[in-house]
Amino acid sequence: MLYTYKLRQYEEIGEIAGELLCSEVTTMSDNILVKDKKYEGQYVALWSLTNKEVVASGDDPSEVIRQARAKGSVAPVIVFIPEADMTLIY
């Protein structure tokens, strides 16, 4: 009985997750965090992953974090924006 109940729960969760994934179709350009070319080669602080507004930018990530916090961002998201011809290896 318990196994059947758990299986039903997982099936329901799977259906809900599938509906959410299908309803939120995005394109590659929707996932780009910073589109402005003036930030190429710099560290950028964003308010959050959902609010992609740039709070601060610069060459030193520690300074960028400090500037973002000074502007009121509690937990800024810091990303490096590569130059157009730059190859990054992770």
27-50 pLDDT tens trace:
666 667 777 889 999 999 999 888
- DSSP class of residue 50 equals S
pLDDT above 80 (res 20): no
> Which phi and psi (to 5°) does residue 50 adopt?
-95, -30
Question: How far is Cα 54 from Cα 37, in angstroms, rounded to an integer?
Answer: 13
pTM of the model: 0.63
Give per-residue burial for 52-72: e unless 16+ CB within 10 Å, then b: eebbbbbeeeeebbebbeeee
Rounded-to-integer distance, Cα 72 and Cα 20, Å: 32
